Structure formats: C-alpha cells, structure tokens
Structure 1
Amino acid sequence: MTVTSREVVERMLQAGREMDVETFVGLMAPDGYLEWPYRPPGVPARLQGRAVIHRHLTEAAKAFIAFDEFRDLVMHETTDPEVIIVEYDAYGTVVATGAPFHQTVIAVFRVRDGQVLSYRDYINPLPLMEAYASAAQAGA
C-alpha cells in the first residue's frame, strides 16, 4: 500500500509533538533536511542527514519545551503531489519554568516515496526567544 504525502506529514507532526525522535528521523530521507528560515540566535539554520537530525533532536528532546497539542491544524495539498503546506498553533510548557508556550507555525514539506526530503519550518521566533530568556533567568 502506497502512503500519501499527507499521511507522511501527519505522522511526522505527531512524532514531533510527542518528541518521538526515532520515528521522526525514520520518516526523513537519508539526505533530507530540516530548515528554519526564521529563528532565534542559537538555532541552526539547517540540519541535513539523518545522523545530524537525530543528534540535534535527541538533545532537544531533553525537554526545553514539552508540547501538549497542536491546534487549528490545516493541511494544504498543492498541485505538486510532493508538497504539503501545514499551518498550526503549537501549545506546550517551558520545562525549566513551567510557563505556558504558544508558537504559530507554517511548514512546507516535500515528500517523495514515503520519505521527507525537506521540512522547512517557518516558526514565529519571538515566543521561542522569550522562552529561552525565561529559562536563562530561571538558571536552566
């Protein structure tokens, strides 16, 4: 049974929300990449390859932010069957402080043969910058 690009993206988002690094990385193409065009200082612009992505996500999974849910999720299938655009609001908690976290996201995925070739994550960097600052003040 062939898996659709939409189904791959749905699984990728679920793995990201649950911080399931193994599933997330397993959905990436061997030379696939994650990219953050808009990001706060200290966040890499691009991670390419499963090993690099795995290493970064394993460190991130040490719970800087714990995601509870993604709300108002809208998936846009495009005229290119490989490209899916996703909009959603991510809600969670800054682990070091217990403060609530809310992030608005637009992401563009390119999926081929059941694997994510590219995941460009257009986050709003301001909430992440505030979370970093509050964690630093808390001594985390």
Structure 2
Amino acid sequence: MTITSREIVERMLRAGRELDIETFLGLMAPDGYLEWPFRPPGVPARVQGHTEIRRHLTGAARAFIRFDEYRDVVVHETIDPEVIIVEYEAHGTVVTTGAPFQQMVIAVFRVRNGQILSYRDYINPLPLVEALPDMTSPARAGA
C-alpha cells in the first residue's frame, strides 16, 4: 500500500508534537531541511540534514516550548502532489516558566518518494518573543 504525501505530513506533525526524534528523522529526506522564514533573533533560518535536525530537535526545541496539542488542523492538498499546506493552532507550555503558550502556524511541506524534502514553518514569532524574552537579548541574539 502506497502512503500519501498527506499521511507522511500527518505523521510528521505527530512526531514533532510528541518529540519523537527518530520518527521525525525517518520521515525526512537525508538532505531535507526545516526552515523558518519568520523567526525571532537567535533562531536559525534553516537546519538541513539529519545531523543538524537532530541537534536542533534535541537542543533548542526541547528547551523552549513543549507542545501538548494542535487544534483546528486543516490540511490542504494542492495541485502539486508533492506540496501539502497545513494550518493549525499549537498549544503548549513554556518549559522554563510553565506558562501556557499558543501560536498560529502555517506549514508548507514538499514530499517526494515518501520523504519530506522541505518543511517551511511560517510561525508568528511574536508569541515566542513574548514568552521567551531572553531570546532577543543581545547575548542570545548573537549566538
């Protein structure tokens, strides 16, 4: 049975929310990348390849926000069978303070031969800046 691009993306979202790094990496192409076109200072624009993605997920992703659930998930399949667009509201907790966190997300995936080539995460950086003010400090921003 052939798995669809939509199913790959749904698995990726679940793996990301659950911090299942091995499943996440297994869904990524070896040279695939995660990209954040809109981000606060100190957050990389792109991480590419399994080694960089693993480092990012085990470090920064665990240290800032823990996502508990995604609400109002809408998956858009496009004319291009490789491209899937997902809209959702992420709800979680700020790891350092325990404060609640929520953010609207639009993500664009490119899937080919059962692997994710690119995952562009169009997040609103303002909730991150508000929740994690030390991210924009001069010491952190220069990191």
TM-score range, shorter chain: over 0.9
Partner SS state of residue 25, structure 1? helix
Partner of 1:115: 115
Q: Deviations over 1:95-139 (max 9, x none)?
A: 111111001000000001110000000000001111211799xxx
The answer to which structure has the higher helix fraction is 2
- TM-score, with normalisation over the residues of structure 1? 0.93
Query: 8 Å contact 1:97–1:134 — kept in the other structure?
Result: no
How many residues in Structure 1 have an aligned counterpart in Structure 2? 136
Query: 8 Å contact 2:75–2:86 — kept in the other structure?
Result: yes
Amino acid at match of 2:117: L
Partner SS state of residue 117, structure 2? strand
Percent of counterpart pairs with the same letter? 76
Deviates more, 1:57-66 or 1:91-100: 57-66
Unaligned 5+ runs, structure 2: 137-143
Amino acid at match of 1:21: I
Q: Deviations over 1:13-61 (max 9, x none)?
A: 0001111111111110000011000000000001111111011111135
Partner of 1:104: 104
- TM-score, with normalisation over the residues of structure 2? 0.91
RMSD: 1.5
Partner of 2:140: none
What stretches of structure 1 move > 6 A for 4+ residues in a row?
Answer: none
